[in-house]
Amino acid sequence: MSHHPPHSPTAQHLIFLRGFGAKNIIILLPTIITRSQWGARAPRNRVPLSTPVPYVIIYHTAGSSCISQASCSQLVRSIQNYHMDSNGWADIGYNFLIGEDSRVYEGRGWSTVGLLGTFSSRVPSAAALNIAQDLIQCAVNMGSRSSSYILKGHHNVKATESPGEALYNVITQWPRFQA
């Protein structure tokens, strides 16, 4: 479970109960806006991830940021359209996207986390950073992320400016970061 307080007075957390023998585990998730809630297109195909995933890769979307569910949903739709129409991808390239509205937007699922905006010269809001850490811990708790995962910035695995220097400097201080 997260050590962070709720991110806003209106933040709702989803609770999943999973049976493990004689006990149940309660897993708290940050507010997740589903694909249908943000108006996602259907993917051209889906390839399930082999879990538990050993890495967490942090990205930024290199564009506008957003501070409301309406503006973030529009931004996520435009990113999906770009990825599918211009890049020819099967779906949006991110597994989750985090807006500065303190919400998580479902993309493909439990592999990569993108923060909406450009974070070369400024860091995301504290709430967005906390939610990213909460989401990673939820993935570990649910078994979709290895408990010994390695955290990296996008430019640690590909020649790119993502996740932006300001955000990168923050995540280098997070647990399990390795360049």
Tell me what pLDDT residue 10 has. Answer: 32
CB atoms within 10 A of CB 71: 16
SS3 (DSSP) at 149? strand
Tell me what pLDDT residue 67 has. Answer: 92
Residue 82 has pLDDT above 90, yes or no: yes
The two tokens of residue 103 are 């919400």
0.85 cut: is pTM over it?
A: no
Residue 176 has pLDDT above 90, yes or no: yes
Largest CA distance in the chain: 50
- Reported confidence tier of residue 111, pLDDT bands at 50, 70, 90: low
Q: What domains, with CATH codes, occur in the chain?
A: 88-178 (3.40.80.10)
Strands (E), 37-144: 53-60, 96-98, 104-106, 112-115
- Reported confidence tier of residue 160, pLDDT bands at 50, 70, 90: confident
Tell me what pLDDT residue 36 has. Answer: 95
Amino acid type, 69: Q
Residue 81 has pLDDT above 70, yes or no: yes
Average pLDDT score, the chain:
81
